[in-house]
Amino acid sequence: KNQATWGGRFSEGPAELMQRLGESVSFDARLAPYDVQGSKAHAAMLCSVGLISKKEKNEIHKGLDAVLADITAGKFKWKTELEDVHMNIEQALTRRTAAGAKLHTARSRNDQVATDMRLFFKDACGQISAGLAKLIAALLDFAEKNPTVVIPGYTHLQRAQPVLIGHHVLAWVEMFGRDRDRFAAVLDHANWCPLGSGAIAGSTLPIDREFTARELGFVDAKGKPRVSRNSMDTVADRDTFIEFATACAMIGTHLSRVAEDMILWASAEFGFVRLADAFTTGSSLMPQKKNPDSLELIRGKAARMQGNLTTLLTMCKGLPLTYNRDLQEDKPPVFDSFDQTLLCLDVLTGTISGTVVNPAACERAVGDPLLLATDLADYLVERGMPFRDAHHAVGKLVGISEKTKTPINEIPMAKAKAAVPELGSDWYDVFDISRGLKLRENLGMPGPKQVKKQITAWRRKIS
């Protein structure tokens, strides 16, 4: 006989293979705290509208607390034949109290799982946002610790113009700041209470959806309950899931770009930074090796987060309304994206905190005066030359420098003036990095005052 909660119309139970295919408890058991929270709110609502007695409500609450305590203590026996977290908890509750059999009144697993997941998202968004804030704080510390270190900024991975290392790090901070905004948006979309939608078409019973929403904290800024507006959409919709995975994938992409920058910086070819032993590993063969594994793994994990997003998009594509069992497959990618994102944020925070700058290597890298060729063009513009001509004129000097193997700022005055008569006797002064940086104090530029200002502003933003 079929023992499942839905077994009434069946004469035999599901095949062992069907159970193996259909069970989700192996990955949705982690929803237990949210499931219990949702059930307690639902029971309180059933009581408030008179569908169950106060005694029954109290028994359900006590029973659910006890079940959750067992789960937390690792004493709960999960049964795959009960399919999922919802049925496992409901059956355990009903073994404790007969009132458990009334809990599923005016509820379906379809609106139940939608509720559990929304509660999960609200929690997860908060945790990721906190992880981002910690990472940003570590990046700001790093920038602050190295206020005078200048490195080349790169385009096409070719040395372009000198910047304070803090300015480069603040570029990463901007990316993670936008990521934080994205999670705030996901949180807002998750903030609607699905309960009361039932399997697809609500319920004939006189339930109070606003009561449940309020109980679970699905409220707007003014404390007004937010109840989902369409029962069919509520059980079919997975776009909040997709948005969450998108936000994680975006973090993954950002993390991978930061990781790549740091891997380059830590290489012997750059040598800008030294990574802490704690976040590197050795080679089983080559005794001298110190490999940036934490950064490489972060770079690799970005692929997983993108894969998870693709899984969700593909799962939903062409799926008819409303709930289809396919949707059970939404959880592994969501949970994996969450776990990996949180882990990677913490790992990068740790890696950054242990990273030390090598100022001598940075100084060598910005030693090439050609990094200031653009500043020389600006200098000619200030002397009245149209920028296109100035660009061309400096290009001529670069050519001479290359042909005569003389650094551009060591071309003799006469030779330089012969090529570019507009040069003043002070043109050599341009080749002073601190001059170039001091002239870049407009908003968003890499001047030292500007960098300091941005650090202060970000500190305030994440506090």
Comparing CB distances to ligand ARG, the nearer of 117 and 420 is 117
Site string for ligand ARG, 277-316 (x = CB under 6 A): ----------------------------------------
Q: Does 243 bind ligand ARG (CB under 6 A)?
A: no
Work out how close the CB of 54 gets to ligand ARG at its nearest, in angstroms, rounded to a whole number.
30
Ramachandran quadrant class, 340 (left: phi over 0; alpha: psi -120 to 50; beta: rest): alpha
Cis preceding linkage at 105, omega within 30: no
Work out how close the CB of 319 gets to ligand ARG at its nearest, in angstroms, rounded to a whole number.
12
Comparing CB distances to ligand ARG, the nearer of 107 and 299 is 107
Residues forming the active site: 156, 283
Work out how close the CB of 27 gets to ligand ARG at its nearest, in angstroms, rounded to a whole number.
9
d(CA 301, CA 305): 7
Q: Tell me how crowded residue 74 is: count the other CB atoms within 10 A of its CB.
A: 6
Work out how close the CB of 104 gets to ligand ARG at its nearest, in angstroms, rounded to a whole number.
12
Work out how close the CB of 113 gets to ligand ARG at its nearest, in angstroms, rounded to a whole number.
4
Q: Distance between terminal CA atoms of the chain?
A: 59
Amino acid at 411: I
d(CA 380, CA 364): 27
Alpha-carbon distances, residue 298 vs 56, 217, 218 (angstroms): 50, 35, 34
Comparing CB distances to ligand ARG, the nearer of 3 and 267 is 3
- The SS3 of residue 291 is strand
Of 13-42, which residues contact ligand ARG (CB under 6 A)? 24
Comparing CB distances to ligand ARG, the nearer of 108 and 454 is 108
Comparing CB distances to ligand ARG, the nearer of 35 and 375 is 35
- CA-based torsion, 115, 116, 118, 122: positive or negative: positive
Q: Does 168 bind ligand ARG (CB under 6 A)?
A: no
Comparing CB distances to ligand ARG, the nearer of 85 and 163 is 85
Q: How many residues belong to the site for ligand ARG (CB under 6 A)?
A: 9
Work out how close the CB of 316 gets to ligand ARG at its nearest, in angstroms, rounded to a whole number.
13
Comparing CB distances to ligand ARG, the nearer of 242 and 302 is 242
From candidates 84, 90, 179, 208, binder to ligand ARG by CB under 6 A: 84
Strands 158-164 and 273-274: unpaired
d(CA 342, CA 127): 8
From candidates 163, 236, 327, 365, binder to ligand ARG by CB under 6 A: 327
From candidates 328, 341, 349, 355, binder to ligand ARG by CB under 6 A: 328
d(CA 121, CA 376): 53
Q: Which of 309, 335, 281 is nearest to 26 (CA)?
A: 335
Q: Does 323 bind ligand ARG (CB under 6 A)?
A: yes
- Write the DSSP assignment of 29-94 as a string of letters: GGGHHHHHHHHHHHHHHHHHTTSS-HHHHHHHHHHHHHHHHHHHTT-----GGG-SHHHHHHHHHH
- Write the DSSP assignment of 190-233 as a string of letters: H-SB-TT-TTTT--SS---HHHHHHHTT-B-TTS-B-B-S-HHH
For ligand ARG, which stretch binds (CB under 6 A), given 162-170, 301-309, 319-327, 364-372?
319-327
Of 413-452, which residues contact ligand ARG (CB under 6 A)? none
- CA-based torsion, 435, 441, 446, 447: positive or negative: positive
For ligand ARG, which stretch binds (CB under 6 A), given 181-189, 320-328, 355-363, 397-405?
320-328
Of 102-141, which residues contact ligand ARG (CB under 6 A)? 109-110, 113
Comparing CB distances to ligand ARG, the nearer of 109 and 168 is 109
Work out how close the CB of 340 gets to ligand ARG at its nearest, in angstroms, rounded to a whole number.
21
* Contact of 432 with 411, CB cutoff 8 Å: no
Work out how close the CB of 117 gets to ligand ARG at its nearest, in angstroms, rounded to a whole number.
8
d(CA 161, CA 203): 66
Comparing CB distances to ligand ARG, the nearer of 26 and 283 is 26
Query: Within 13 Å and on the Cβ side, how many CA atoms surround 200?
Result: 6
Work out how close the CB of 22 gets to ligand ARG at its nearest, in angstroms, rounded to a whole number.
8
Q: Which residues, in sequence order, are CB contacts of 133 under 8 Å at separation 6+?
A: 180, 462
Q: Which residues bind ligand ARG (CB under 6 A)?
A: 24, 84, 109-110, 113, 323, 325, 327-328
